[in-house]
Structure 1
Amino acid sequence: MAKRFGGRFSPGAQDPDIPQPKGAPVHPLESRVKWITIAAIPFLIGAFWQDPFGLVTNLAGFGIVALGSYMTREGLKAEAAYDARRVARRPSLPRKLFGGILTGLGLAVGAWEPGAFAGAALIGVAAVALHYLAFGPDPMRDKGMEGIDPFQQDRVARIVAEGEEYLEGMQDAIRRAGDNRLEARVQVFIETARELFRRVEEDPGDLTAARRYLGVYLMGARDATAKFADLYAQTKDQSARADYEALLTDLEGNFAARTRSLIEGGRSDFDVEMEVLRDRLAREGVKPREPAAERPAALEDRRGQDLTSLIRETVKAGRKQD
């Protein structure tokens, strides 16, 4: 089979120096969904050789199965996004469950004939069971939400949704420039911004420090992208392109630095909490455990000792610590 030649200097080629975007998470079972619709194609083909009643039931059966496939695919996408995050809420709508019910209903409607209601119902129930075995259940529990204020989490969700709208606006605007390299460059920045989104979602307490990045800066980036795309589509101004790429580089650096600072701030908070707990234990008369580097050598090197001597040395070391 012929293969189109392409290289670094081919038209539309991407610069290898630009890191490639990760893309949205994909569920490993998502490719199976298409076979559900393919299996229902006989309903569509055979409908035109049926009487009016058979025509309607076959077309309705195929349409309901196709709708069930769509719901199942959306459920798998939601599950993939749920699994990719350490902190996530369960999907508000169990799409895979509804997809299985619609698939069973579609097969039952397509197979239904006058006087054969029991057989059609049995086919539908079997289809629902097989759908559940093939794709599994929807996530039904929140993940990593212990100790997080629901009101604060809802507030973060609204601001993140607003930030996603700005990122989608950037994607739509840069397409007008007609340059694949610039589209890839913007996508890399979008992935960097979404890393900050994930950090704030995992710890809503970081919202105050990151809110300007999620709102004002992304709005400015979207507006700048729209103006640049309109200018570049008309003039192909290389100096404007260089300035825009420099802007993206600065934005990526700032967003990545903010994400790192939030992570380091979380480490600092952990150290403070650990010191406070140690102070409280010390006031209660509980001595902190010595680090491994400061323990007696007798407790570290125990090779060549029998069980009796090992127990004796362990008891002596415990008495010394008391």
Structure 2
Amino acid sequence: MAKRYGGRFSPDPRNGNVNPVPSAPIRHRLASRPKYVTLAAIPFLFSAFFQDAAGMAGNLAAFGVIASAMWMTTEGLAAEAAYQVRRVARRPAIPRKLFGSVLTGLGLGLGAAEPGSLAGAGLIGATGMVLHWLAFGADPMRDKGMAGVDDFQGERARKMIEDAEGHLAQMRDAILRTGDRWLESRVDRFAATVEDLFDRVRSNPGDLSAARRYMGVYLTGARDATIKFADLYRRTNDPATRASYETFLDDLEKDFSAKSRRMLEGDKTDLDIEISVLRERLAREGVRASEPAQLDAPRTETARFLDGLLTPDRDKAR
């Protein structure tokens, strides 16, 4: 069945407007490297069938361990990419790239192991670990933007955000069934607005109670409405149903944007109060703002000469 193409510069067939740009998927710049390492390990797989039982087992194990290492590394790169794009983020709970490095060294060591050459196999494995670290880097080991955040509140916010992200993922999966790229990009734009609210809650978990209704009830309703719309629109292709759903998304997106702004304004108000209280305390302690420092007169002969040239111009300007 033919499907209308839609992209960044494609016009909307309904009103002639340009499609909204969908949010780009989070992808690490090195995400394509692990598959090449897996391909490079394929000789272990083919050569296994031309050896004795012990050699075949060793080569098959080497390929399997290296493939597992690259899968673990891919997951680590995805976790690092999500960490990098967020203003506030915790370090990954599992250092996947570190585990991938160890598995890579183990796989290379198994592939190179021969009777009487365990030292050489160990050296090759250690070299593989170092090369893995040079190729893919290390895992993030520190939390970002979490200074002053209560651990208990932060854990509650993290769990709530994970549930809300699951609702967004279900919305995206449901809208894919319509086969309409415009609707897919529209849901992506709504998701970007919701993720901005997530960032607010991550940076200040104390706002979780104020955002709980949006991240729970509203997103659950949006997910259920999207699933029902996708099933209905796929069967009927009714323009009125589509327009009603887009209006629903517009209204919901405005509500989420307004909530994010209110939370930001509340944070600014709290900051202003803290600054004013601190100034009052400093004033009671007798601390006053210092006067701007005066520049010393020019001391070198060249400096005095230049100052003499510039002084008449300043006097004339006055």
TM-score category of the 2 structures, normalised to the smaller one? 0.7 to 0.9
Q: Considering only aligned residues, what root-mean-square deviation do their CA atoms show, in Å?
A: 2.3
2:298 to 306, 309, 321: 306
Q: Deviations over 1:11-58 (max 9, x none)?
A: 132446332123333222222222211221111122222222222211
Q: TM-score by structure 1 length?
A: 0.84
Residue 168 in 1 paired to residue 169 in 2? yes
Instruction: Give the aligned residue type for 1:238.
Output: P
Q: Distance in 1 between matches of 2:153 and 2:299?
A: 56
How many residues align structurally?
292
Larger deviation, residues 236-245 vs 190-199:
190-199
Instruction: Indicate conservation of the 8 Å contact 1:282/1:288, yes or no.
Output: no
Structure-2 change in CA distance of 1:26 and 1:176 (3 Å): closer
- Give the Å deviation of 1:289: 4.9
Q: Distance in 2 between matches of 1:132 and 1:173?
A: 39
Instruction: Indicate conservation of the 8 Å contact 1:86/1:143, yes or no.
Output: yes
Segments of 5+ residues of structure 2 without an aligned counterpart are 301-318
Segments of 5+ residues of structure 1 without an aligned counterpart are 1-9, 309-322
Give the corresponding residue for 1:56: 57
Residue 13 in 1 paired to residue 3 in 2? no
Instruction: Give the aligned residue type for 2:210.
Output: A
Instruction: Give the aligned residue type for 2:249.
Output: L
Give the corresponding residue for 1:46: 47
- Give the Å deviation of 1:105: 0.7
Secondary structure of the equivalent of 1:30? coil
Counterpart mapping for 1:190-205 below 5 A? 190-205=191-206
Q: Distance in 2 between matches of 1:218 and 1:307?
A: 69
Q: Deviations over 1:201-251 (max 9, x none)?
A: 011122122111111100010111111111111111110000101111112
Instruction: Give the aligned residue type for 1:306.
Output: P
Q: Distance in 2 between matches of 1:307 and 1:153?
A: 58
Give the corresponding residue for 1:179: 180
Q: Distance in 2 between matches of 1:252 and 1:19?
A: 14
Q: Percent of aligned pairs with the same residue? A: 55
Q: Distance in 1 between matches of 2:299 and 2:29?
A: 52
Instruction: Indicate conservation of the 8 Å contact 2:201/2:207, yes or no.
Output: yes
Q: Deviations over 1:158-200 (max 9, x none)?
A: 1101101111111122122232221121111111111111111
Secondary structure of the equivalent of 2:156? helix
Counterpart mapping for 1:1-322 below 5 A? 11-14=4-7, 15=12, 17-289=18-290, 306=298
Q: TM-score by structure 2 length?
A: 0.85
Secondary structure of the equivalent of 1:29? coil
Give the corresponding residue for 2:312: none
Q: Deviations over 1:248-301 (max 9, x none)?
A: 1112222122112212221111111101100111111112357xxxx7xx96xx
